[in-house]
Structure formats: C-alpha cells, structure tokens
Amino acid sequence: MEAWFEEYIVRVEEELAYFFDTYGEYVSKFPFVIKDLLAKIRRYSLAGGKRIRPILTILAYYGYGGKGDKIKQISIVPEILHNYYIIHDDIIDQDHIRRGIPTVHAMYEHEEDSKHHALSMAICAGDFTSHMVNHIIINSEFSNKIKLEVLKLIDITGFRTIIGQVLDVCPEESASWVEEVHTLKTAHYTISNPLKLGAILAGVKKSELKKIERYSMFMGKAFQLQDDILGLFGDEESIGKPIGSDIQQGKMTLLVVKALELASKKDVKFLRACLGKHNLSKKDLIKVRGIITDSGALQYSTNLIDLLLTKSLVELEKLNLNEPQKEQLRKISRFIVGRAH
Amino acid sequence: MEAWFEEYIVRVEEELAYFFDTYGEYVSKFPFVIKDLLAKIRRYSLAGGKRIRPILTILAYYGYGGKGDKIKQISIVPEILHNYYIIHDDIIDQDHIRRGIPTVHAMYEHEEDSKHHALSMAICAGDFTSHMVNHIIINSEFSNKIKLEVLKLIDITGFRTIIGQVLDVCPEESASWVEEVHTLKTAHYTISNPLKLGAILAGVKKSELKKIERYSMFMGKAFQLQDDILGLFGDEESIGKPIGSDIQQGKMTLLVVKALELASKKDVKFLRACLGKHNLSKKDLIKVRGIITDSGALQYSTNLIDLLLTKSLVELEKLNLNEPQKEQLRKISRFIVGRAH
C-alpha cells in the first residue's frame, strides 16, 4: 500500500498505545494479576494487524467533513471491539497464534499448567476489553446526542456480530448460511460499523448511512472471501497464523462448501475426512488445496470477489464522501481484495 | 419476607419475561440455533433468584421521588448484567447447577457430546446477554443526559466487577484479598450499582450517590459473607446449587481463610487437602464444616456480618430516601443477612 496508508497505521497504533497507557493508570492500584492481564491485552492488541477498521473510521470522519482531533481517541473503538470478539473467538476456535504471537488464552497456557485457568483468564480478558468500548465512547468529546447514536450503532453491530458468531459455531453446509455469517460477522462489523462510526461522528444524515451499508455489504463479503483464501493459500508469516486452521477446525468456508458441491466423490470423501482433523499433515493440506483448486471452488470464490468488488465500487461512487478520502476508499477496496495478508 | 417483597419479585419477573418476549422478535428471522440460544438465556434468567438487584433499583427510584412507569423496563438492567456475569462465571467455576436448573453451558452439554461446543455457546450466550444491557438503557424513555449517566455507572461497575472476578480466579490466602473481592465483585454490583441506578434515574445529586456507596459497601460485604455461609451450611434445595462447591473449587472464602489461620495443624492439613478436591465426599464435607465451626471461623464471619449490618443501618439513616422505601430497605438489609437462600 501507499505511504498515506502506512501513516494511518502509525497513527492508529499510537492511539492504541496511548489508550492502554492511560487505561493502565486506572488499574495501577490493583494487584499484579490485574496489571498483567491488561499488559497481555495490550500486547495482543498492538502485535499487528491491518488496522483497517479504525482507518475506515478516520477516513469517513474527515471525508464527511469532520474537523479537529477529537476523532483520534474514539477512532480505536472498532479495533477494541474487534479485540474483544477475537479474544473470545480464539478460545472458541482453539487458535493459539494470531498476529504472529500467542493468543490471550495461549499466553496463560504458556505460563501455567492449568488449561482451565488459562481459559478463565481469557474469558475475563474478553469481557474486560468489551467494557473498554463503552468507556471510550462515553468519555469522548462528542455531544450526548452523538454519543448515544454511536452507542446505538455499536449495539446493533454487537447484536449482529454475536448472531454471526453463533451461526459460525453451528455451521451448516450451505452457501447461503456462509453468506449470512459473512454479512453478520464480517460485513457489518469490519466495514459498515467503522465507516458509519466516522460518518455519525461527522454528523451525516441517516440516508447516507444506508448508502454506506450498501457499499459495505459487498465490500465486507469480498473481504471475508479473500480472508478465507489467504487462510488456505496464503503465507503463514504474512498472515500471522497457521495455514489451514479453517480446515482443521472444520469451518464451512465458501471454498469448502463449493468444493463439497463440485468435486469428485473420492475427493469429497477425502475433504470430509480432513475437516475437523486436528493432526492435519502438510501432505493432507496440499491435497486439500488441490481439491479446492481443481474442483473450481477457488475460481468460484475469486470470480465472486471480483463481482463483489465491482458492485462495491459502484456503490462507493454514490457516497457523498469528499476527495481525497473517496479516492483512498477506492484504493482500500482494491487493496482489501488483492492483499496477501 | 413480607407481601410487598413478594410483589416486587412478581413485578420484576413479569418485566424480565416481557423483555425476553420483545427481544425474541428481533431474532425471529434467524435460524433455530439463535432462537434456541435466546430461549436458554431466558430459561436461565427466569428460573428464580432473589431479584434483589432490580428490587433495589425500583425501591431507590420511587424512594428518591421518581414518578411513573418508565422505571419498569430499565429496572431489570442490574439483573441482565448479573446474568451476563454469571453465565461466564458458571463456566469459570465449572458449576452445572444454579437456581435449581442447569447452567447455560450445562444445558448445551446435556444436548451434545462436545464439551468444547457447549463452552463456545455459553461464551456467546454471556456476550449476547452483555449486549442486552446497553440495548435496554439506550432504548429507555429517559433523557440522553440521564442515559449517559447510567452508562457511566455501568461502565465503572463493569470495570470493578471484572477486576473482582479476576482476583477471584487468582485467589490469595489473605483476608484483605477476600475483602477486596467482596467489595469489587459483590458490594458494587449487587448493592451499590442497583441503588445508584434507581437514584440516578430519579435525578439525585452526586453527594447522595456517595452516601449510597457508603451504605452499600457494608451491606454488600455482609451479603457475600452470608452467601458463603449458605454455600457451606445451607440447604441445597433452597439455595439451588450444590453445597460445598466453594470447597471443591478451592475458593478462598473468609470462612476458609480464617479456618486456615485458626484451626489446629491437623485440621489445617485436612482442610487444605479438601480445597479443590473434585470428588469431595459427604463425609469430607461434614468434617470441613466441623473444622470451620470449631476453629471459630464461622463465629468470626457471623460476628463480622452483625458488625457490617449495624454499620450499614447507621449509613442507611443518612440517606434522603422517602418512607416507606427507607423502611423497606431496612427490612431488606436485615433479610439479606438473615436469609436462608
């Protein structure tokens, strides 16, 4: 990506670090276990990531005419919200690595013998992080009216994300189920929520929020499809987590659903045997990749990504965003579907 | 308790049922797994309990001159908040029974083979319930200013509760540690938060909130000490959960900390062996009770409860609450420390 994008990332990471520093003061009088918990959440939050969510918030705020610096602290809200969800998501998915470092429950597992204690601490870590979201919004410099609009947005986003998460935990072998999960769990909270947040803070009208949502639904689904491809065909170091973990966890990604629909009986049998197989070998993984490629499932997904990108760019043009933010959003849209991490 | 208290309970349970009915409409278009999750949260929430938290909110609201019916729906906020915490707390404590019915993760365990799936669904259930808290506040009929004051209260309460929970998960064998947990995890969120909520909704001044907090700290600690006594010496059917589970979980209650300090070397050795012992026998439990009684730890706790009650009643008189609510609060205070469930 270009320099302006890197500048956004630096800015967001500075805000995150500043937030954890100031929040740290609140816990300074408590015993070590509390300070250590916050230090783990901080380490996890600052370990990396695309920072796409706060960048979208800042971009929408200035693109819709927002002024001044008061966006800075509140712009990290979608990132903190994301951390809350993924701390719990890591427990649910039994993921031990994210962003190239141990997940929160894995940090505790490394230190102690008791898996249950590690789990308990990670549940608390997620709950703690969830409370930070409200804390930042309530203590921001915006009017009460705007704060409540923001809280309403987060309420609806949270509702959808958790429903999406439950559907993801109870997967069905259906493309429409997968699309529903992508809409609820990715499109709303990764694209629509951050953009709407910036727009609300800048004071836009409700009709504009609807337009943002239309753009975001296409973009969000494309983002998730690309994420699923990277999770299977990407580079472990770039994406910061083990390749093929979706297969090991038996996740119903569109790649898998389509391969089960399109592949030969023999390949389907092999693929089914790999889904949820905890000791998936490198050889298994290569064969799974082959099945997903040869069946046409990969091509189906990349075609769909192209279609979604095209549709999202049409919707993007309808937004009343100022340039240069509109141009930045075009570039981010293309980056999201073309990225390697 | 008297008839007016029973009337409060009926009223709170009606509001809870009404809330879950209306909230159910939001999920009606989603697949069965979502409706089933909400049904489980509803069943768990309506299974019983003292409803002390919403009763304190209603009592404070009218006692501080609040008018009309708009308190009704928002009065269940401390109960929903409580359900969020205890759904996660049940996972952490590995409790399978509460309020005489299975806990949320246990409901899923009864239906399925996968313990991990049950755990995942219960994490989601807690997160879902946590979002309901904000939802009710934001959509209540109070002014934006009051809504934000309420959200600030919930923010601070949540912060303290989670810190208390972490300290409870990482117990130390010290009376001051136990007291800190009781202050953070019980006094604030069981007594102070509900009373302050009602008071804020009625429009009281900050100085009154400080007075409420002073009363609540004494009352909350007494409540928790009584809870710990019931957990070991109470009647299983009345309290709705297995007797001695604190011992099985190795919890550092004041009873245990004091017994470890005061009992003979032999008894201390036996008690230590029972702490965290999952297959604790009926015989073990009877002996543990004997040690806690004979060492003077039980007497120490009951004396402390009496002292805390006396102090709380002194603080109660300083509150600017109207009668008859003040008289009701006196009765509730005495009930809390004298209750059998």
pLDDT in the model for residue B341: 65
CA B94 from chain centre, in angstroms, equals 17
Residues B120, A92: C-beta atoms closer than 8 Å:
yes
DSSP track, A129-198: HHHHHHHHHHTSSS-HHHHHHHHHHHHHHHHHHHHHHHHHHS--S-HHHHHHHIIIIIIIIIIIHHHHHH
CA B147, B153, B156 angle in degrees (round to 5)? 140
pLDDT in the model for residue B278: 86
Output the pTM of the full model.
0.95
> How far A170 CA lies from chain B's nearest CA (Å)?
7
Residues B163, A123: C-beta atoms closer than 8 Å:
no
**CATH no. of A3-338:** 1.10.600.10
User: What is the per-residue pLDDT across B86-139, written as a single tens digit (0 to 9) for each?
Assistant: 999 999 999 999 988 999 999 999 997 789 999 999 999 999 999 999 999 999
Identity at B284, one-letter amino acid code: D
Contacts of B33 (CB under 8 A, 6+ apart): A166, A167, A170
Residues A94, B117: C-beta atoms closer than 8 Å:
no
pLDDT in the model for residue B237: 83
Interface pTM, i.e. ipTM: 0.95
Contacting residues of A for B126, CB less than 8 Å apart? 123, 127
Which among A123, A166, A177 has CB closest to B37? A166
Do the beta carbons of residue A340 and residue A229 sit within 8 Å?
no
- What residues in chain B have per-residue pLDDT under 50? none
> How far A112 CA lies from chain B's nearest CA (Å)?
12
Q: How big is chain A by its Cα radius of gyration, in Å? A: 20
HEC-encoded secondary structure of B165-213:
HHHHHCCCCCHHHHHHHHHHHHHHHHHHHHHHHHHHHHCCCHHHHHHHH
pLDDT in the model for residue A307: 96
Structural tokens at position B237: 């059917």
CA B335 from chain centre, in angstroms, equals 15
A-proximal residues of B, 162-191, CB under 8 Å: 162-163, 165-167, 169-170, 172, 177
- Which residues share a beta bridge with B97? B102
Backbone angles phi, psi at B101, to 5 degrees: -125, 170
pLDDT in the model for residue B231: 92
Q: Give dist(CA B5, CA B10) in Å, integer.
A: 9
Contacting residues of A for B167, CB less than 8 Å apart? 30-31, 33-34
- What residues in chain A have per-residue pLDDT under 50? none
Q: Give dist(CA A303, CA A297) in Å, integer.
A: 10
DSSP track, B270-333: HHHHHTT-TT--HHHHHHHHHHHHHTTHHHHHHHHHHHHHHHHHHHHHHS-PPTTHHHHHHHHH
Q: Give dist(CA B24, CA B45) in Å, integer.
A: 14
pLDDT in the model for residue B10: 94
Is some CB atom of chain A closer than 8 A to the CB atom of B17?
A: no
Identity at A11, one-letter amino acid code: R
pLDDT in the model for residue A340: 65
B-proximal residues of A, 97-126, CB under 8 Å: 116-117, 119-121, 123-124, 126
Per the listing, tokens 């998460």 go with: A165
CA B212 from chain centre, in angstroms, equals 18
Residues belonging to chain B:
341
Q: At what angle do helices B77-93 and B32-46 cross, to 10 degrees?
A: 100
Do the beta carbons of residue A328 and residue A8 sit within 8 Å?
no
pLDDT in the model for residue A195: 98
Exposure of A150 by Cβ count < 10 A (0-12 exposed, 13-18 middle, 19+ buried)? buried
